Amino acid sequence: MQVSMTVNDVEVTEEIEGRLLLVHFLRDVLGLTGTHWGCDTSNCGTCVVWLDGEPVKSCTVLAAMAGGHEVRTVEGLAKNGKLDPVQEGFIQCHGLQCGFCTPGMLMTARALLDRNPDPTEAEIREAISGQICRCTGYATIVRSVRWASVHEAGTEEVTA
Ligand code: FES
Ligand code: FES
Q: What digits encode the pLDDT tens for the residues 47-67?
A: 999 999 999 999 999 999 999
Residue 79 per-residue DSSP state: B
> Which pLDDT belongs to residue 157?
54
> Which pLDDT belongs to residue 33?
98
Ligand 1 in contact with 40 (CB < 6 A)?
A: yes
Q: 68: domain range?
A: 2-76
Closest ligand 2 atom to residue 98 Cα is 2
Ligand closest to the CA atom of residue 39: 1
Rounded to the nearest integer, the mean pLDDT of the chain is 95
What is the rounded average pLDDT of the residues 20-26? 98
Measuring CA to CA, how many Å separate 154 from each of 45, 117, 147? 30, 11, 10
State how far the Cα of 118 lies from the Cα of 153, in Å rounded to an integer.
8
Percent of the chain with pLDDT over 70: 96
Domain contains 158: no
DSSP string for residues in 87-129? HHHHHHTT--SS-SSHHHHHHHHHHHHHH-SS--HHHHHHHTT
Whether residue 57 sits in one domain with residue 117: no
* Stated length of the chain: 160
pLDDT of 32 higher than 90: yes
Domain contains 160: no
Whether residue 140 sits in one domain with residue 90: yes
Ligand closest to the CA atom of residue 26: 1
Ligand 1 in contact with 55 (CB < 6 A)?
A: no
Whether residue 57 sits in one domain with residue 89: no
Separation of CA 124 and ligand 1 centre (Å): 19
Split into its structural domains, the chain has a count of 2
Q: What digits encode the pLDDT tens for the residues 116-147?
A: 999 999 999 999 999 999 999 999 999 999 99
Cβ contact 96:135 at 8 Å: yes
Question: Which of 128, 133, 144 best tests ligand 2's pocket when mutated (most atoms within 8 Å of CB)?
Answer: 133
Pick the last residue of a domain from 28, 50, 76: 76
Cβ contact 84:119 at 8 Å: no
Closest ligand 1 atom to residue 60 Cα is 2
> Which pLDDT belongs to residue 154?
80
Domain contains 7: yes
Name the band, by pLDDT with cuts 50, 70 and 90, for residue 153.
confident
pLDDT of 40 higher than 90: no
